[in-house]
Amino acid sequence: MLKLRCVRIFTLILFAGITVLFFGITAAEEKRIIERYLQIVLRSPKRGIAFDKVFNSYSERNCIPLLLEYCSRQRDTAKTPLETANAETLLGLVYERVNEREKAVECFTRAAELDESSPTAPFYLAENLLILEKFNEAEQALKTALQRNPNRLEIPPILRTLGTVLIKSKKYDAAIDVLQQTLKIGPNNRQTLELLAEGYASAKQFEETSKIVLQLLDIKGDMEVQKNVPQLLEKLSKITEEQNELQTAIQYQELLCSISKSKQHRSRLLSLYVKNGNSEAAFQLFFNLILSSGSVSEQTGYIVKMLLLGEFRAVEKVLDFLEIHQEPHWQIDFCRVLVENSISY
């Protein structure tokens, strides 16, 4: 009898273990885990695994208002300025995550005033001010963060954000100085290099920009670099085009097209060729885009683009070619009518 009872108990324990293994922890256990994470983020409110665990748990149950209420209650019942500052920071992080930036700014501002030793609140404040395009206030908040002796892991992100703010404020030389300082801490940091390239391009220091781009392209094995370099080149091309440095914009766009197969990038290069008066290069690229098009609709898109750019003769040559080598289609016929009505001899 005792043996049978022991077998039953063992079976129940085994079943409970299998249930937890396959179906997850119980609601009560999950609640205890979340409470422990809450205590962690209250003691040191920062972005990271603990905060993500708390926020996601409340978000999945559509209980963000309860989390905001909890943070507010912790703030209102805090016994010391530091505890109040931590609760304000946590509250700011929640508002930030739900994209209520103005409220996040209010919380981080109060936290930075209450705890004058930590760089965290002024740093988070600056990031939200940057998104709100309040660049002067963001710059001041970042300088405050730097004055609070951040550790060696905290310094680079603060400096990178300051570099971004200075670029947005069109203080390009100051941004370059800050980012060069950041680069000394991490010589091959992708984010720093990308920002520095943007700073150099904005300051019309194109030779230095090209060096940074080549340095980025030389970084091997970093998937983020492989993914972000095309975006950076496109941004640099647009910056230099806005500065009317069309030949430099073309160089960046050509480099972009050499590492990207996107037809959208080649289409933009086509516009740059035309804008810069490179008629021969524009026609050759236009012709290649037509030949590589997967449908008549795609061909028509490129033809209409060239018509809008005023390249009627180039379009006429391509239409003559299509008339010989391709089956008739009403879209192409319509383009022919547009050309005939646009060309003035």
Let me know if residue 268 belongs to a domain.
no
Domain assignment present for residue 5? The answer is no
- Answer yes or no: is 285 within a domain: yes
The enclosing domain of 95 has a CATH number of: 1.25.40.10
The residue out of 145, 168, 188 marking a domain boundary is: 145
CB atoms within 10 A of CB 180: 14
Of 66, 77, 121, 117, the residue nearest 96 (C-alpha): 121
pLDDT per position as a tens digit, 225-280: 677 889 999 999 999 999 999 999 999 999 999 988 899 999 999 999 999 999 99
> Residue 188 belongs to what H/E stretch?
none
- Please tell me the total count of domains within the chain: 2
Q: What's the distance, CA 244 to chain centroid?
A: 26
Global confidence as pTM? 0.79
Overall average pLDDT of the 137-156 stretch: 96
Whether 243 maps to a domain, the answer reads: no
pLDDT value for 18? 37
Residue 139 falls inside a structural domain = yes
- Domain C-terminal end among 145, 168, 199: 145
Q: Which domain holds residue 116?
A: 20-145
pLDDT in tens, 22-54: 334 456 666 777 788 888 888 889 989 989 988
**Does residue 269 lie within any of the structural domains?**
no
Last residue of a domain, one of 116, 145, 174: 145
**Res 30: pLDDT:** 63
Q: Reply yes or no on whether the pLDDT at 224 is more than 90.
A: no
Tokens standing for 238? Answer: 């647009």
Whether residue 183 is contained in a domain is answered as no
Is 221 part of any domain? no
Query: Crossing angle for the helix pair 296-308 and 312-325, nearest 10 degrees?
Result: 160
Predicted confidence at residue 222, as pLDDT, reads 66
DSSP letters, 241-266, are: HHTT-HHHHHHHHHHHHHH---HHHH
Q: Is 190 helix (H, G, I), strand (E, B) or coil?
A: helix
Q: For 277-333, write each residue's pLDDT tens digit.
A: 999 999 999 999 999 998 999 999 999 999 999 999 999 999 999 989 898 899 988
